[in-house]
Amino acid sequence: MSRRAEARPAKVAVLGAGSWGTTFGKILADGGSDVVMWARRAELASEIHTGKRNSKYLPGINLPRSMSATAQLEEAIDGVDQIFLSIPSQSLRENLKVLRPMLVGSEIPLVSLMKGVEKRSGLRMSQVIEQELACDPARIAVASGPNLALEIAQEQPTAAVISSIDADTAAAVARLARNRYFRTFVNSDVVGTEFGGVLKNLIAVAIGIVDGVGYGENTKASIITRGLVEMTDFAVAQGAQPETLQGLAGLGDLIATCQSPLSRNNTAGRLLGQGYSFQDVVSQMQQTAEGLASVAPVLQLARASGVEMPIVEQVKRVLDGTMNPREIAPHLTTDDDTPKGERTQYGQAGGGGALWRSIQRALDQLRNGGGGPRSDRP
């Protein structure tokens, strides 16, 4: 291979030009890749391609010159080295049906940027990709972490984790998805990484609800802490490693999503807490709040696994209109007055110590590469 060919920038496609898809395209472009965005609407593709802006989803952000865009799916993926998928979870399958014949014989990595569960099947996004594209799961990676799109588009430093059952796939994706303000770690726990991104959305809706009602920091801190217990119990029951929920894809994402007004799920919950109906919230939201669609399938999986998720159950009741938002609170998460242990079902220590170690691990990963566990190192 020639020296010039070796130096060729990677060419990648990002399918989906909402706030997160466009932001991730910027991450990849700022890391040195040539990025082609696919937007369903031709006018949005034109604005990104010509004006280097996405004024609807990322107002005020200038996009790199190495980002182009098209409304033609086949044109977007032509000759690319990796494909990143940032499509609303409930419409992913129908988009993959269109994509499948274009990828026959391809071995390129497919990366899920989505944090949802398919409502009809209860499948994670990587499972939908594997099923619909009939591809080797070793080609699939997922990205997750405390990643609020606008902050990253403003180049505020953060970290994420790239997960794949194949170490080479995870490393290949991580090498492209990093730059001076965005750091990537890797692990092999796809189940835990994906469910961390899904479950934190449900807890963020609960936090939004109590925020909309007007409750303060004690209530929110209690729900975040007990929410992490629910997240860990659920994910481990599905085959995840508990330490994954204590890292960037679990606790890190939970903190960011619960405390930020930039979070769509937090915003949706806040509107519910202020008395808006579920349909009113959906109509007011300009972007998809994945947590709203994931509540029912997650609870179905939890019941099938024998896992109790009282906070998520309360969120569902608020969504269904059968519970006053003012009643959502951690003191309602037990059935009787019998003292209950704080630790998770799968924890190794009391909840306070486990939570502190989780926070320390997440902060260490954000500060530098040396503090995280081996499985999370870049």
Q: Which residues are catalytic?
A: 200
Residue 142 has phi, psi (to 5 degrees) of -130, 145
For the CA atoms of the chain, what is the radius of gyration? Answer: 20
Q: Which residues contact 301 (CB under 8 A, 6 or more apart)?
A: 117, 122, 234, 238
b/e per residue 218-250 (b: at least 16 CB within 10 A): ebbebbbbbbbbbbbbbbbbbebbbbbbbbbbb
3-state class (DSSP) for residue 342: coil
- In terms of Cα–Cα distance, which of 247, 248, 250 is closest to 204? 250
Q: Which residues contact 129 (CB under 8 A, 6 or more apart)?
A: 85, 92, 96, 110, 112, 135, 140
Q: How many angstroms separate the CA atoms of 195 and 169, rounded?
A: 20
3-state class (DSSP) for residue 186: strand
User: Per DSSP, which regions of the chain are E strands?
Assistant: 11-15, 34-38, 67-70, 82-85, 110-112, 140-144, 158-163, 182-187
Q: What is the largest CA-CA distance in the chain?
A: 72
- Beta strands 158-163 and 140-144, pairing class: antiparallel
Residue 220 has phi, psi (to 5 degrees) of -65, -40
